[in-house]
Chain A
């Protein structure tokens, strides 16, 4: 399988040959940041269109079809519109916090995004507590949402922010527990390590029942973590008009929107990483010919394919279910998901020590 680190290493050496070490690092950082932001915004656009097409298909509609072939230019029109809209500043608000909030949400999302393994040797941050880092930085986003709701000085946004605080902090636990269950099975917290551990079979299959339980809990909790239906209570349109971002306009609103779609990519990417082998091709032990053929498919395609598949599941869930109520949502987490997740983690640990996994 082609290792993309050869490309990055070559670039590194080329740069090093013409400039000193400190400048090389600076240039590399800038290049990486550029790539990251570019990928971030392009993916967000692709994701918005993806969701619109899938949701149109689910709802017996055609989705966007007018602008460009199959409506593919629609998103550019939307982005242009949102960029050109006035940013409305409100009276009696905490200006600093009000403007800070969308950036906090985006920063949290970009930092988590940077952890994803895009392909073999194609990763920005990779260190030995990668999974832990993901859990940590993804939690910063809730701060932005709370700030947005609080600083808008509106009753609707405040209710949205309170709901969001309760919801995201609760479901963080389940996301964390199901991630730890898989870390336990993989035996490492390093993201590359987790992917490498799936060389002979994805963790979802290797861990059988506990992994499946963790997978389902992860899907539910990630939906909630992402404020997507059926857990879109913080912005429950039909109750709170737009929840915590009711008062935002123009690109500030756009940033929330952007982060929301990128978070969808991130949770799908993490699901692909933890359960479906990340960029690792589908390998079936013993089927050498099949495995070789699978290896010819580039690793980045594997990763993106799995992520898009997971996203499809998330979109499917979102457009099929009604919304839960706040008390039902909290009861689901604290009474069911978290206890099950905890027991599941213990069972997984036992299974790993007894070597009952494949």
Chain B
């Protein structure tokens, strides 16, 4: 770390480095930030922008950037802030890390920070006529300011760019258009069978060829991050399951680990093992659903039912142990809420056997089908560089050859004890993304079988650590990542160390994998046909509530 520290100081003299936290913290002022960011990527190989979190520190507004080196998997974070609250401006890094494009739009939406030289400075989730920026601490939530608007949004084609003159440093606003007037634009969504939720793409077509896709998000945005700021820590847990509901256990596990890390709680081994098994069951269930949706979006309805048939087994396991099939609310701070059902291990083993056997059927029905192969091979290509640039993780990233499995790169929970492989492919097309998922099911089964043995070997039934009734975190911030079904899910948690009894998080940000995934819709679908748009988005496989947190 000391070496890294000296190399970072060599890049930028003005950077203040603090190595007291879990990751190296670099504070830099906005004037030097863009140059510094470029050097970090080019010279120190921090090419993966893991998270971009806007924070309002009351006296200043700013952004925390988490950067990962894709070779060594080292993480650092950089704090850039501005004290101008009336017209906060920071330099955009979307030209360095493409993923920052949408992320900065989200920060602009919630904090009103304008990113200089950002190509498309529109709001991301909220309507253009929304008054105020809701995550700012001085936000006025008077409902009269933002009534429920029943009319259409005006001028949704208008966008703008804030350009800085390189010589004088003067920033001017340049108006731009999303689509030209003579383009043939169709709306795919918000009500559409293949967007898997309330998502909307505005697609410019030339015949059947897609020329440009504009993602319009926010139809089911619930403001989870804002709500979390008014809840106590145990209450915030339930929202994690309502983001990516196909990774409910995993997301919840992540937030629990983040809070446990802040509190310094040691989780009993048995509880950790149960959580891990639930995570893997969740992953299988998610990949089965993804198989079903991908096949159905290509019109193979029967394959869809096959995927759902096996998912049922997993849901029965959840039902018996957690008492619910969706939104299980099972993990909790310090462990899990109750011990597993007596038949748990038997059920898991049975599910593993059945799924393993039926995977062959899936391949027979769909993978080898000539139409399916023609529809998916070579379609929706995403190179390794692009995947890193857009911070694509999970099966979609691994299909492009990025080693991004958090279970391997930054092991958490008990994953280091398990023998499994990180499934990667190099083709980067829809077929590769699909096959990575299918192979990951096999790996998850492998993990589950080992976990069954380990769980049997544990004596006693301690499923939760002793946790204080009132959870109070010291001042500070923490970041925890897990490998969710669709990629790296991260929780940024900041506490102001408020001594009052009902402490609430100062800032809680969820870095959801699907948010990054929609960033590549335009990239991968361009110049493909409209039918490919559906297959590509299905193979990228995102869950809309995870985007619209």
Which chain A residues have a beta carbon within 8 Å of chain B's beta carbons? 55, 58-61, 155-156, 159, 229-230, 232-233, 236-239, 241, 319-328
Contact = CB atoms under 8 A, between A and B. Distances in A.
A237 B531 CA distance: 11
Contacts of A327: 208, 529
Contact of B309 (A60, A229, A322): A60
Interface string B461-498: 00000000000000000000000000000000000000
B299 A232 contact: yes
A322 B529 contact: no
Contact of A239 (B296, B371, B374, B530): B530
Given A59-B302, A60-B305, A155-B184, A328 B297 contact: no
A180 B464 CA distance: 77
B344 interface: no
B356 to A, nearest CB: 18
B194 interface: yes
Contact of A58 (B186, B302, B366): B302
8 contacts: A58-B302, A59-B305, A159-B530, A238-B534, A241-B193, A322-B298, A322-B372, A327-B208
Contacts of A239: 194, 530-531, 533-534
A238 B194 contact: yes
Interface string B380-402: 00000000000000000000000
Given A325-B374, A326-B529, 16 more contacts: A58-B302, A155-B184, A156-B186, A159-B186, A233-B531, A239-B194, A241-B193, A320-B365, A322-B298, A322-B300, A322-B303, A322-B366, A322-B369, A322-B375, A325-B531, A327-B208
Contacts of B531: 233, 236, 239, 323, 325-326
B306 interface: yes
Interface of B: 184, 186, 192-194, 208, 295-303, 305-306, 309, 365-366, 369, 371-372, 374-375, 529-534
Nearest to A232: B299
B192 A241 contact: yes
A236 B299 contact: yes
A55 B304 CA distance: 13
Contacts of A321: 299-300, 369, 371
Contacts of A237: 193, 299
Contact of B374 (A229, A233, A241, A324): A324
A159 B208 contact: yes
A19 B369 CA distance: 63
Contact of A60 (B296, B306, B366): B306
B354 to A, nearest CB: 13
For A59, A159, A238, A321, the residue with the greatest tally of chain B CB atoms inside 10 Å of its CB is A238
A230 B371 contact: yes
B194 A322 contact: no
A350 B532 CA distance: 44
A324 B365 CA distance: 16
Given A59-B305, A230-B299, A323 B530 contact: no
Contacts of A58: 302
For B299, B309, B375, B532, the residue with the greatest tally of chain A CB atoms inside 10 Å of its CB is B299
A237 B193 CA distance: 7
Given A155-B186, A238-B296, A320-B365, A325 B301 contact: no
Given A60-B306, A237-B193, A323 B299 contact: yes
A115 to B, nearest CB: 31
Nearest to A233: B531
A4 B365 CA distance: 45
Given A238-B296, A238-B297, A241-B192, A320 B302 contact: yes
Given A239-B530, A239-B531, A321-B369, A326 B297 contact: no
A325 B300 contact: no
Query: 10 closest pairs, A vs B, by CB?
Result: A323-B299, A322-B298, A322-B300, A59-B305, A238-B194, A155-B186, A238-B297, A325-B531, A322-B371, A319-B302
A324 B366 CA distance: 13
A325 B365 contact: no
A59 B534 CA distance: 23
For B184, B302, B372, B532, the residue with the greatest tally of chain A CB atoms inside 10 Å of its CB is B302
B532 A325 contact: yes
B530 A322 contact: no
For A236, A239, A320, A321, the residue with the greatest tally of chain B CB atoms inside 10 Å of its CB is A239
A59 B192 CA distance: 24
A219 B532 CA distance: 26
A216 to B, nearest CB: 15
A155 B366 CA distance: 31
Given A239-B534, A322-B369, A229 B529 contact: no
Contacts of B533: 239
A164 to B, nearest CB: 13
Contacts of B296: 238
